[in-house]
Amino acid sequence: MTSPNVDPVTFEHHRDPLGIGEPAPRLSWVVRTDLRGWLQQAYEIETGDGTTLRVESGESVLVPWPGEPLRSRERRGVRVRVHGRDGSASDWSPWSWVETGLLHPADWRAGATAPPADLLGGAPLLRRDFTARAPISSARLYVTAHGLYEIELNGRTVDEDVLAPGWTSYHHRLRYRTHDVTGLLREGANTIGATLADGWYRGRIGFHGGRSGVYGDRLALIAQLEIAYADGTAETLVTDDAWRCAPGPVTAASLYDGETHDARLLPDGWSAPGFDDSAWAPADLLSHDPALLVAPTGPPVRRVETLAPAAALTGPTGETILDFGQNIAGRLRIRVQGPAGHTVSLRHAEVLDDDGSLALRPLRHAAAHDTYTLKGGEPEEWEPRFTVHGFRYAQVDGWPGSLNLDDVVAVVCHTDMRRTGDFTSSDPGLNRLHDNVVWSMRGNFVDLPTDCPQRDERLGWTGDIQVFAPAASFLYDCAGPLTSWLADLAAEQTELGTVPVFVPWIELEPFRDVLPTAAWGDAAVVVPWTIHRRTGDLGLLRAQYPSMTAWVDQITALAGDSHLWDTGPQLGDWLDPTAPPERPFEAQTDPGLVATAYLAHSARLVAESAALLGRPGDAARYHALADRAAAAFDTAYATAEGKVTGDSQTAYALALRFGLLQGDRRREHAGERLAELVHANGHRIGTGFVGTPLICDALTDAGALEDAYRLLLQTECPSWLYAVTMGATTIWERWDSLLPDGTINPGEMTSFNHYALGAVADWMHRVIAGLAPAEPGYRRLTVRPRPGGGLTHARACHDTPYGRAEVSWERTGARLTIEVVVPPNTTAAVHLPAGPDHPIEVGSGRHLFHQDV
């Protein structure tokens, strides 16, 4: 027997706890041990300031900070050791270090340094020389911008961030980053240089032509370099009016349209000392509000992977099209040699038209076109820096000489989250579907949770993440990014009085007014609830509670005394297969039914949240509200026989999964009717965004597991696997984004990378493999594998906050073997497919079960 070991402590949901914004960060640790049934009895914490503390507690996830809150710029080491209920004790964990950023507006002395208005259009350069003494003990750069920025010290970029500072609701919250730049400074002459670009701040965003200059018409850098010397003195260099500016090599940069780069225009050595900037223009100093500056709660966007082209194709006019074999969000990196002034053109698309040319129509008003003009001479390497595209194919024009496949790679860019979950099974189609879900998550977590990464949209549509959050939080640790996004949601909501349909919100036709919309606005409740369930983060629930209740109170008022929310425009069961291509909201399920169901559901989740937050009065009130809304739904939309208005798959899925029908018999009837409908439809899917995440669970609950499997394994259109049979490498926006004849759906809104319909991955994890949280943060697991559909094996694993959990099963003949891994400090209730009725209780460790089925 080995004694337990403790992994390094982690802080909040940070991957890199440098420059965090929480003065009292909560601590988590994972215990590793092969001692079976290990449970923590107590923990000891030591912090670098001499605080040691022993706490008699089994908690090991997001436990309170032990000492005084940290001040700005304070750095602290933390380590932990644990004692088991079995008398075991660990050694101290390795030290982990946390450092706060600038916690108060008054810590900011930096102004907003802006290139003169006549330098805007491309990506202007800013620079400033300064001197430093030696020896330097540490240096920190606190930096953000109005617009996108890249920052260099002495000719070297300080970080690997992409599209920094990301997109938040800038007029409420602007994220800054903290970098340790100690190693980049030197004694004597130093230079700091930055490149700015329009990005979301000033560039065009949104559909129907979109809008530019949404947050302002001037780009600006806000940077504060703080140098601490070994002799105890300090110096601070800030963005002020002593900076100088010039146009750079990027002559145009747009998130949608792409980047134009002329390498001949790069001033040699501009971001290093010794460069003569006397011809550069002085920067303007603009004011900004430091109270808006916030530290990140999650990782930045980075270059996460590169893909080599799988093939070079020739288009109808002889053009060269590279196929990367995978639809991604990212951009190309090229290595090219040729004459000065020669231009290479790169266009991007997700699919090809039937003549083999790039299909550009689905991109609408996003040109997705990068060009690079060569400096000439030596081989040149280039990747655009202020744009991102959703693509699988790239057309390369104007390549000097012959193009080799290793001259170009696709660089996958997204929020650099930790991968936490996986699923495999004996069915290759299902595995591809799951991979497609993962890739759609990767394509749509480019700083914020978006609908799609390719066309003139890429907005934080609330409904999309509302339905996808359970799958997302299994696949990746996305609590940090979603915490930031939810803060924006709450900020926009407070200002506007309702939850916008996308966050950050910008006014766009036809969404001039912010109208409350069911299933979209419910993201305010469902997303924090889901993160709490999956990570155990009660603090997030507490922080979002006012936003959650404000939403439910508002829709309660809209529903009025009837408790039926059946007024106002709705998006309904968006994009069900019967909705006409140009009218995606005209789904077969009554939008009032959808809205009332969500009122009951969100009220219930708020009630449960209130109970957890120690608010029994609120809990009772919202439970009563949920009961009344459910009763109203039952009376208005269900018959005594359990038939639900509209008789659609989604109507039954909602009624059953949200617990809206009174009485066992009616529920049974509704379940039977749902199975009948699915049968009658030849096990083809009939749901849109709202019903899709619910239908397989509704069938499973109704005892129609095989129908759920047949629905999932269906390959005829519409179905999940139809897209797989058509060669999809991501989840499509529509069931038939590609029509059975191989042509592209004529709808103006046809993306090949939307995660919403991939919400079913959550059912694959919880039900096929059987790995689900029974208590917040997987403190207790429900292990309930449900073999079926002719699968011979399946497996899901998830890095829970307590460590790796895993469930796998394999069927050989009539023999079923189930293997379960339960993390230390957790327990599991194991429900075996063939009885017994009551679950088997197990503690941590690896457990094997055999059954004849």
Cβ nearer to ligand BGC, comparing 597 with 699:
597
Q: Are 816 and 853 in contact (CB under 8 A)?
A: yes
Span from 256-264, 275-283, 455-463, 781-789 in contact with ligand BGC (CB under 6 A): 455-463
Span from 120-128, 451-459, 625-633, 660-668 in contact with ligand BGC (CB under 6 A): 451-459
Q: Indicate the residue type of 745.
A: N
Q: Are 156 and 184 in contact (CB under 8 A)?
A: yes
Q: Any residues with CB less than 8 A from the CB of 573 and at least 6 apart, and which?
A: 587, 588, 589, 591, 594, 648, 650, 687, 688, 689, 690, 691
CB of 508 to ligand BGC, least distance (A): 10
Cβ nearer to ligand BGC, comparing 176 with 468:
468
Span from 95-103, 178-186, 458-466, 657-665 in contact with ligand BGC (CB under 6 A): 458-466
Place of tokens 């936490």: 420
CB of 747 to ligand BGC, least distance (A): 10
Question: Quick check: 452 binds ligand BGC (CB under 6 A)?
Answer: yes
Q: Is the peptide bond before 124 cis (omega within 30 degrees of 0)?
A: no
Q: Are 89 and 81 in contact (CB under 8 A)?
A: yes
Question: Quick check: 84 binds ligand BGC (CB under 6 A)?
Answer: no
Among 457, 608, 762, 806, binds ligand BGC (CB under 6 A): 457
Other CB atoms within a 10 A radius of the CB of residue 287 amount to 8
Cβ nearer to ligand BGC, comparing 184 with 527:
527
> Is 226 tagged catalytic?
no
Among 107, 350, 451, 736, binds ligand BGC (CB under 6 A): 451
Instruction: Give the burial string for 412-431 (b: 16+ CB within 10 Å, else e).
Output: bbbbbbeebbbbbbebeebb
Cβ nearer to ligand BGC, comparing 329 with 749:
749
CB of 580 to ligand BGC, least distance (A): 15
Element (H, E) at 540: helix 538-559
CB of 588 to ligand BGC, least distance (A): 17
Element (H, E) at 650: helix 649-657
Q: Among 558, 473, 470, 468, which residue's Cα sits nearest to residue 518?
A: 558
CB of 349 to ligand BGC, least distance (A): 17
Q: Indicate the residue type of 340.
A: A
Cβ nearer to ligand BGC, comparing 205 with 452:
452
Q: What is the dihedral of CA 724, 728, 734, 735, to 10 degrees?
A: -10
Of the residues 259, 608, 733, 806, only one is catalytic, namely 733
Cβ nearer to ligand BGC, comparing 461 with 622:
461
CB of 591 to ligand BGC, least distance (A): 13
CB of 751 to ligand BGC, least distance (A): 6
Cβ nearer to ligand BGC, comparing 38 with 256:
256
**In the numeric block, which tokens belong to residue 295?**
């530290």
Cβ nearer to ligand BGC, comparing 22 with 457:
457
**In the numeric block, which tokens belong to residue 314?**
């020739």
Q: Is 330 left (phi over 0), alpha (psi -120 to 50) or beta?
A: left
CB of 581 to ligand BGC, least distance (A): 13
Q: Among 695, 20, 274, which residue's Cα sits nearest to residue 10?
A: 20
Cβ nearer to ligand BGC, comparing 443 with 776:
443
Among 161, 407, 422, 464, binds ligand BGC (CB under 6 A): 464
CB of 463 to ligand BGC, least distance (A): 5
> CA separation (Å) from 651 to 462, 701, 712?
21, 15, 19
Cβ nearer to ligand BGC, comparing 451 with 492:
451
Binding mask 387-416 for ligand BGC (x = CB under 6 A): ------------------------------
Cβ nearer to ligand BGC, comparing 755 with 763:
755
How far is 851 from 809, CA to CA, in rounded Å?
11
Q: Among 103, 106, 115, 93, which residue's Cα sits nearest to residue 47?
A: 93
Of the residues 457, 492, 608, 806, only one is catalytic, namely 457
Round the CA-based radius of gyration of the chain to a whole number and report it: 28
Crossing angle for the helix pair 538-559 and 523-535, nearest 10 degrees? 150
DSSP state of 607: H
Cβ nearer to ligand BGC, comparing 198 with 456:
456
DSSP state of 165: T
Residue number with the smallest Cβ distance to ligand BGC:
451
Span from 449-457, 488-496, 595-603, 740-748 in contact with ligand BGC (CB under 6 A): 449-457
CB of 518 to ligand BGC, least distance (A): 12
How far is 476 from 453, CA to CA, in rounded Å?
18
Q: Among 229, 394, 416, 408, which residue's Cα sits nearest to residue 320?
A: 394
Strands 320-336 and 448-449: unpaired
Phi first, then psi: what are they for 402, rounded to 5°?
A: -95, 140
Question: Quick check: 522 binds ligand BGC (CB under 6 A)?
Answer: no
CB of 525 to ligand BGC, least distance (A): 17
How far is 669 from 87, CA to CA, in rounded Å?
53
Question: Quick check: 461 binds ligand BGC (CB under 6 A)?
Answer: yes
Q: How many residues bind ligand BGC (CB under 6 A)?
A: 10
Span from 122-130, 385-393, 459-467, 636-644 in contact with ligand BGC (CB under 6 A): 459-467
CB of 635 to ligand BGC, least distance (A): 30
Handedness of CA 215, 220, 222, 223 (dihedral sign): positive
Question: Quick check: 754 binds ligand BGC (CB under 6 A)?
Answer: yes
How far is 111 from 237, CA to CA, in rounded Å?
11
Other CB atoms within a 10 A radius of the CB of residue 274 amount to 8
Q: Among 645, 619, 621, which residue's Cα sits nearest to residue 632?
A: 645
Q: Among 503, 495, 500, which residue's Cα sits nearest to residue 514?
A: 500
Q: Enumerate residues 559-598 that contact ligand BGC by CB under 6 A.
A: 571, 574
> Is 733 tagged catalytic?
yes
Question: Half-sphere exposure (CA, 13 Å, Cβ side) for 255?
Answer: 28
Span from 56-64, 355-363, 460-468, 811-819 in contact with ligand BGC (CB under 6 A): 460-468
DSSP notation for 265-334: G--TTTTSTT---TTSEEPEEE---GGGEE--SSPPEEEEEEE--SEEEE-TTS-EEEEEEEEEEEEEEE
The two counts, helices (H) then strands (E), for the chain are 14, 44
CB of 462 to ligand BGC, least distance (A): 8
Cβ nearer to ligand BGC, comparing 224 with 327:
327
Instruction: Give the residue numbers annotated as catalytic, written as ranges.
Output: 457, 733
Q: Which residues bind ligand BGC (CB under 6 A)?
A: 451-452, 457, 461, 463-464, 571, 574, 749, 754
